Amino acid sequence: VVVAVRLQDVAARAGVSVKTVSNVVNGYVHVRPGTRERVQAAIDELGYRPNLSARSLRSGRSGVIALAVPELDMPYFAELTRFVVQAADGHGLTVLVDQTDGLAERERLVMTGIRGHLIDGLVLSPVATDADELAAAAGQVPIVLLGEKVTQGPVDHVAIDNVAAARAATEHLLDAGCERVAALGDQPDSPQGSGVAALRRQGYEDALAGRGLPLDEGLVVPVDSYRREEGARAVARLLDDGEPPDGVFCFNDTLALGALRALADRGVRVPEDVAVIGVDDVEDGRYAVPSLSTMAPDKQQIASTAVQLLVDRMRGRRDAGPRDVAAGFELVVRESSRRGRPAEHATARA
């Protein structure tokens, strides 16, 4: 900052007091139109910009919220981030994006360290944090959780109904004529039993049970991460081990994309030999060859709801009980699981 233009300078220029300028800047209603105009003119001429640090120090609010996701370069989070930034913008809030790498330590830092009181609230997509820590942190700063559901957690939370979505995905494969549907993406060693992986596995099992089908543990493949390479590796394992599946429900699209690649490498035809579906409706999936069927969460709704919940908390609603919002989702059938009918162009939908 070369020249520091302060409220005071504007006041002098406009021939009013500091308070009046402050009122104008903050859109306070009771200012005479003429005064407002004069002040605004002074602001423009001087190029005044409020000093956020000072404002924050004084008011205790910064207008900045943090969004913490495991990995920014996972397409789902990248897309979601975009919507969160957009939603926050609508509330005049700035978003500080953080990457936790799914590490407990980094998630804790985001919650507690909280940038030295710089943050008014936090939207967190937790992977490794338990309910106790969450409760403790929520006392310090408003928090809204995304995606994972710490069993009846102590804080606000928005996510799709993962069990229902997983069940619908599996049933879609069954409806398409699959008889051996694999589930790809289990995380049995995850610290908490209620993460998305467990929920999606539950939905998968429910679907099988609903059709009177037995659960074959050999068809449930665990992964270390939700990246493409793990999807590819898991498929390789599946194909090498005994009787191969004729359908694969991947716990997210990224895994599915890796799976598609591995299937192609083996010369397995999709969807003829194996039908594939994922979750997330990531843009890559729409343009993959074959295009990827998926359970599409309403990302926009998730983002705007999360920000709204957070804003509510930030404005007073501090001690009210936690709210749980279920976002919508939708089955999108594309080439990877479409059997019998001629293929549509993925580009038609994009």
> What is the contact surface with DNA in residues (CB under 7 A)?
4, 6-8, 15-20, 22-23, 25-26, 30-32, 34-36, 48-51, 54-55, 57-59
Q: At its nearest, how many Å lie between DNA and the CB of residue 21? A: 8
Q: State which residue, 57 or 215, has the beta carbon closest to its own copies.
A: 57
Find out whether 84 and 307 touch, Cβ atoms under 8 Å. Answer: yes
Q: At its nearest, how many Å lie between DNA and the CB of residue 320? A: 22
In this chain, which of 291, 293, 304, 337 binds its own copies, going by CB under 8 A? 291
β-strand 143-146 against 121-124: which pairing, if any?
Answer: parallel
Q: At its nearest, how many Å lie between its own copies and the CB of residue 89? A: 9
3-state secondary structure at position 136: helix
Give the x-and-dash track for 92-111 against its own copies (CB under 8 A). Answer: --xxxxxx------------
Q: State which residue, 50 or 102, has the beta carbon closest to DNA.
A: 50
Token pair of 222 as six digits: 């665990």
| Interacting partner of 20 out of DNA, its own copies, none (Cβ under 5 to 8 A depending on kind) | DNA
Rounded-to-integer distance, Cα 297 and Cα 282, Å = 10
Of 195, 187, 207, whose CA–CA distance to 277 is shortest? 207
Of 56, 79, 58, whose CA–CA distance to 69 is shortest? 79
Q: At its nearest, how many Å lie between DNA and the CB of residue 16? A: 4
Q: State which residue, 22 or 94, has the beta carbon closest to its own copies.
A: 94
Find out whether 281 and 294 touch, Cβ atoms under 8 Å. Answer: yes
Q: State which residue, 29 or 350, has the beta carbon closest to its own copies.
A: 350
Q: At its nearest, how many Å lie between its own copies and the CB of residue 54? A: 5
| Interacting partner of 260 out of its own copies, DNA, none (Cβ under 5 to 8 A depending on kind) | its own copies
Around 237, how many Cα atoms within 13 Å sit in the side-chain half-sphere?
A: 18
CA distance readout (Å), 324 to 86, 148, 218: 22, 12, 34
Of 323, 329, 333, 331, whose CA–CA distance to 301 is shortest? 329
Contact between 2 and its own copies by CB under 8 A: the answer reads yes
Q: State which amino acid sits at residue 204.
A: Y
Contact between 283 and its own copies by CB under 8 A: the answer reads yes
β-strand 143-146 against 181-186: which pairing, if any?
Answer: unpaired
Q: State which residue, 6 or 338, has the beta carbon closest to DNA.
A: 6
Q: At its nearest, how many Å lie between DNA and the CB of residue 307? A: 21
Helix axis angle for 33-46 and 7-14, nearest 10°, is 120
DSSP 237-249: HHHHSSSPPSEEE
Could you tell me which stretch among 32-40, 137-145, 162-170, 199-207 binds its own copies (CB under 8 A)? 137-145
- Residue 118's H or E segment, with its range, is none
What residue ranges bind its own copies (CB under 8 A)? 1-2, 49-57, 60, 62, 64, 71-73, 75, 78-79, 81-82, 85, 94-99, 112-118, 139-141, 228-229, 232-233, 257-258, 260-262, 264-265, 283-284, 286-289, 291, 345-347, 350
